[in-house]
Structure formats: C-alpha cells, structure tokens
Amino acid sequence: MSVRRLAEDTVQPATFAFSKENAAWAEATIKKYPEGREQSAVIPLLMRAQEQDGWVTRAAIEKIADMLGMAYIRVLEVATFYTQFQLQPVGTRAHVQVCGTTPCMLRGAEDLIKVCKKKIAGDPFTLNEGGTLSWEEVECQGACVNAPMVMIFKDTFEDLTPERLEEIIDLFEAGKGTDVVPGPQIDRIYSAPIGGLTTLQAPAEEKKPARASKAKEEQAVSVPPSNAAKPSTVADITNPTLKTPATAKKAAAKNVKVEGETVDKSKPAKKPR
Ligand code: FES
C-alpha cells in the first residue's frame, strides 16, 4: 500500500463548508450518537464531505474535527487510514478504481489498467487534461466472481473487456455516466453462472406437487416483506432521555454485583444439620 498523505498546499482550498442540505444532514447524523460519543460520526461526515467536493481536503478535515470536538490529528488519522477517502483531487466526471487483486488480475485486470493509462493518464491519481478523469488500482471490491471489474463512484462495472471499459470511460467523459447500467457488462444475471443456471435446477421430468394449487402459489408470492425488524421511527436513536452506559453507571454497577458464592452443582448439596 502506498503512503497516504494530504495533497500539496497548492491544491488545498482555504476553507470548507457543508452545503445547507448537507449541514442539516450532518447535524441529524451527529444526533444519532449519545452525548459524549459524537466522534462516532467522523466517518459518515468525512464521506459526505468527499461526496460534496469530490475529495477530502485539509479544510474539510479541520471543519469536521471542530464539529465533533476532536483534535485535528484524530480526524486526519481516520482520513489517511481508509483508502475510500480520496486525499487529492480526482476526476470530476469519473475516478476509475480498477481492482488489481488476484481473481481480477487472473481475468485481465492488467489490460484494464492499460486502458486507463491510455485514455486517462500514465500514472494513477493523475488528472487527464480536462480534469474530468482519473484512475487508481485498488484491492478487492468484493465482486470477484464477476472479475475483472472497476468501481466508479458507488457503482461497480463487472465482467469487463478492455473494449467495454473504453466505452464506459467515453460515456462518463461525455457526461453520460448515468446511461451505463452497473453490474455485469455481459449477458449474466448478477453473479449467476454465464449461460444460465447450472445447479439447483429441477430435473426435467419432475412435476409440481398436485396440492400446490395455482391459488396457493399466487397467495405465496403476494405476501409483503416483513417489517418486523425495521424500526418505525428513529426517535429512540435520538432520544436524549434514553440511558446509555455512560449515563447509567449506577444501574450497571448493581447488575454486576455478586451476591453470595457460586454454587457448584457437580457436588452433592450438604444436608442441613
Ligand atoms: S479480486 Fe477483484 S473484486 Fe475481488
């Protein structure tokens, strides 16, 4: 892994401010955490700053540190640790992240990197002439079964050939990135086998059980998904009256108080005299 440092001062903006909408979002996000635990919002806030400006600037790091009551160095540590944070300007229309880990490499990632070098810039993290495109090599993005692949912003483009990647880069450069359908770029459904199912197929002669009537089948598919695990409101998360480990120390201390000795059930109980 390369050393991750902040960009040169020459490209760093003097100030950073969240847009009105993002500032409201940041405020609500901070409130999700209990009092005294606001620092937990550091990653979401850094990511929102990156989505707003394209990369994480020094001014953004300092602004977020101030918002969360953290030392600048603590936020800098987070921003430089996670490679998802871009520490220098990237292409305004596309920053192409080419997976170079083993499965993708075995399936042609080197050819994808050659395309990036040819169409964007000879070196990673270098902007093209118009400042619209950049690229980098990244580690596994979790789509190995559809290798080779690239990620652009939040979308993955899989089962790529060099020719298809060239087309995709051209579309992003032309401002038509949203026209490209993410996922496999060949005739494959998600990560199912190429050419259709090869397993879990019903034998050709197998017939449906007689009792599975059509009406029952329709009823089965019409059942809506359960909301059992979904909170109906976030009020609990932001309710300041709810106790947290920090505010309920006395109650917690009571719970851990050991009263009497532990009984060893493997020994016979003593008879009362
Ligand atoms: S190795 Fe490329 S996505 Fe996993």
What are the tens digits of pLDDT across the range 8-26? 999 999 999 999 999 999 9
99 assigned binding-site residue:
yes
| DSSP designation for 177 | G
CB atoms near residue 59 (< 10 Å): 16
Q: Hey, which of 35-44, 216-225, 254-263 has the most confident mean pLDDT?
A: 35-44
Contact criterion met (CB below 8 Å) for 177 and 94? yes
Residue 220: its pLDDT value, please? 53
CB atoms near residue 185 (< 10 Å): 19
**What mean pLDDT is reported for the chain?**
86
Contact criterion met (CB below 8 Å) for 53 and 16? yes
Could you tell me whether strands 94-99 and 183-184 are parallel, antiparallel, or unpaired per DSSP bridges? unpaired
Residue 39: its pLDDT value, please? 97
> Whole-angstrom Cα distance, residue 106 to residue 103?
5
Instruction: For residue 110, report the distance from its CA to the centre of ligand 1, in Å.
Output: 13
Indicate the SS3 state at residue 183: strand
- Token readout for 208 is 């449906």
- Token readout for 233 is 């409101």
Contact criterion met (CB below 8 Å) for 131 and 91? yes
Comparing C-alpha atoms, which of 142, 132, 138 is closest to residue 109?
138
**Least-confidence region, from 59-63, 87-91, 134-138, 237-241:** 237-241
Nearest ligand 1 atom to the CA of 140 is 4
Instruction: For residue 203, report the distance from its CA to the centre of ligand 1, in Å.
Output: 34
pLDDT band at 197 (very low <50, low <70, confident <90, very high): confident
Top mutation candidate among 104, 112, 113, 158 for ligand 1, by most atoms within 8 Å of CB: 104
140 assigned binding-site residue:
yes
User: Which amino acid appears at position 198 of this protein?
Assistant: T
pLDDT band at 3 (very low <50, low <70, confident <90, very high): confident
pLDDT band at 195 (very low <50, low <70, confident <90, very high): confident
Comparing C-alpha atoms, which of 32, 65, 33 is closest to residue 46?
65
Residues with a CB atom less than 6 Å from ligand 1: 99, 101, 103-104, 140-144, 147, 149
Q: pTM score > 0.75 for this model? A: no
Instruction: For residue 44, report the distance from its CA to the centre of ligand 1, in Å.
Output: 25
Top mutation candidate among 99, 112, 139, 159 for ligand 1, by most atoms within 8 Å of CB: 99
Instruction: For residue 25, report the distance from its CA to the centre of ligand 1, in Å.
Output: 33
Report all structural domains of the chain as residue ranges with CATH numbers, in order of start. Answer: 9-81 (1.10.10.1590), 94-184 (3.40.30.10)
Nearest ligand 1 atom to the CA of 148 is 2
Contact criterion met (CB below 8 Å) for 23 and 48? no
Q: How many residues does the chain have?
A: 273
Locate the DSSP E strands across 82-236. 94-99, 133-138, 150-152, 155-158, 183-184
The H or E element spanning position 101 is none
Nearest ligand 1 atom to the CA of 104 is 2
pLDDT > 70? residue 264: no
Instruction: For residue 141, report the distance from its CA to the centre of ligand 1, in Å.
Output: 5
Q: Hey, which of 124-128, 193-197, 202-206 has the most confident mean pLDDT?
A: 124-128
Owner of token pair 């979308």: 155
User: Which amino acid appears at position 98 of this protein?
Assistant: V
Top mutation candidate among 144, 155, 191 for ligand 1, by most atoms within 8 Å of CB: 144
Instruction: For residue 198, report the distance from its CA to the centre of ligand 1, in Å.
Output: 23
Instruction: For residue 246, report the distance from its CA to the centre of ligand 1, in Å.
Output: 41
Contact criterion met (CB below 8 Å) for 129 and 141? no
Top mutation candidate among 96, 97, 112, 140 for ligand 1, by most atoms within 8 Å of CB: 140
What is the mean predicted confidence (pLDDT) over 43-51? Answer: 98
What is the mean predicted confidence (pLDDT) over 118-139? Answer: 97
Residue 115: its pLDDT value, please? 98
What is the mean predicted confidence (pLDDT) over 27-47? Answer: 97
